[in-house]
Amino acid sequence: ELRLGYTQSRGAPGLRQAIARLYAHGDPDAILVHGGSQEAIFAFTNAILAPGDHVIVQFPSYQSQYSIAEEIGAEVARWNSDLDREGAPDPAELERLLQPATRAIVLTTPNNPTGYAFDRARIDATVEIARRRGLWLFSDEVYRGSEREAERIPAVCDLYERGVSLGGLSKAYGLAGLRIGWISTRDRGLYDRIATLKDYLTICNSAPSELLAELALLHSDALIERVRQIVARNLDHLDAFFARRTELFAWSRPRAGTTAFPRYLGGSSEAFCSRLVERASVLLLPSTLFDAGDERVRFGYGRANLVEALGALDAFIEHDRL
């Protein structure tokens, strides 16, 4: 039954139960539903950081994961991914970045823009570093479910008592219009601080969105499979495109997600992307937007019209690139 009044601030009980089933802990009281993942990032960051604190963020990453911390007055250290090795970050480098004022480690797996997904050894090493120092470990997992390898690592909230997993319906489920995200954490003190901050943000979520989100999660396997099929077809098309364009791009298949970050060999990626959108109405994102130099391009391949877009890109390369 849909009622168009105020909803429960922490999320409808049925929706929190449906989300909890996605995690090993299975506890709906560990789930806090937000009006999209952006609100969850904002609330978490403000709940744990103060001016002068230090936070380590995997790069490249979603902008709000570091910009909100900077606005608070915290120092952000970049845990850089090795873009020539699938985008894998090095736990040894993470160790070197630790400071006395470090409060949290922030990562994204599967990653946007690189498409890299942590393997079990790398996430276990990261958890161990966080545990030794008692740090918060925030894992943006909105692409969780899009992995193409048979084994998927556990969610960070299930691996670590101070782990926080970010989820949402926008990416792996393809339901961005519902504007439903969530955090999952077993730490009750942190949960309550984030819930208090939400009272000063959206207060509660849209009743229709929560109802539709709960219905969607009852059919989560079918929704994720739909996205996986689109992605599988599109990856084959990308393989063929990059095989034709080895003079312009260095390509390797991403492990997960719906984005890839190949190296552009034709000069400035920003200039290339600007000309492309102006002349062919095809939007690719240069690596400058991710503060990752000027030699990579982010491709998105989660939509059904990729073949049409690649055709326009081919035509641009042949006739209008220079």
Residue 48 phi/psi, 5-degree rounding, is -115, -15
Mean pLDDT of 229-251: 96
- Within this chain, do residues 174 and 105 fall inside the same structural domain, yes or no? yes
pLDDT score for 319 = 87
pLDDT score for 201 = 95
Residue 185: its H or E element: strand 181-185
pLDDT score for 150 = 60
Mean pLDDT of 17-23: 97
How far is it, in rounded angstroms, from Cα 318 to Cα 9? 54
pLDDT score for 35 = 95
- Within this chain, do residues 43 and 183 fall inside the same structural domain, yes or no? yes
Question: Residue 152 — very low, low, confident or very high, per pLDDT cuts 50/70/90?
Answer: confident
- Within this chain, do residues 54 and 180 fall inside the same structural domain, yes or no? yes
Domain holding 232: CATH number?
A: 3.90.1150.10
Q: What is the pLDDT of residues 114-136, one digit of tens each?
A: 999 999 999 999 999 999 999 99
- Within this chain, do residues 276 and 176 fall inside the same structural domain, yes or no? no
Question: Residue 193 — very low, low, confident or very high, per pLDDT cuts 50/70/90?
Answer: very high
- Within this chain, do residues 66 and 143 fall inside the same structural domain, yes or no? yes
How far is it, in rounded angstroms, from Cα 265 to Cα 58? 25
- Within this chain, do residues 230 and 139 fall inside the same structural domain, yes or no? no
Domain-embedded: residue 201 = yes
pLDDT, averaged across the chain = 95
Domain-embedded: residue 186 = yes
Percentage of the chain beyond pLDDT 90 is 90
- Within this chain, do residues 80 and 207 fall inside the same structural domain, yes or no? yes
Domain-embedded: residue 20 = yes
Domain holding 83: CATH number?
A: 3.40.640.10
Out of 184, 218, 252, a domain closes at 218
pLDDT score for 84 = 85
Domain boundaries, position 192: 13-218
Residue 94: its H or E element: helix 91-97
pLDDT score for 148 = 79
- Within this chain, do residues 202 and 226 fall inside the same structural domain, yes or no? no
Out of 163, 192, 218, a domain closes at 218
Residue 322 scores a pLDDT above 60: no
- Within this chain, do residues 155 and 86 fall inside the same structural domain, yes or no? yes
pLDDT score for 2 = 86
Identity of residue 283:
L
- Within this chain, do residues 206 and 225 fall inside the same structural domain, yes or no? no
SS3 content of the chain, % helix, strand, coil (to 5): 45, 15, 40
Output b/e per residue, 56-87; b: 16+ Cβ within 10 A.
bbbbbbbebbbebbeebebbbbbbebebeebb
Task: Provide the whole-model pTM.
Answer: 0.93
pLDDT score for 268 = 97
Total domain count, the chain: 2
pLDDT score for 52 = 98
Residue 320 scores a pLDDT above 80: no
How far is it, in rounded angstroms, from Cα 311 to Cα 115? 23
Residue 299: its H or E element: strand 297-300
- Within this chain, do residues 95 and 138 fall inside the same structural domain, yes or no? yes
Mean pLDDT of 200-228: 94
- Within this chain, do residues 35 and 179 fall inside the same structural domain, yes or no? yes
Residue 103 scores a pLDDT above 60: yes
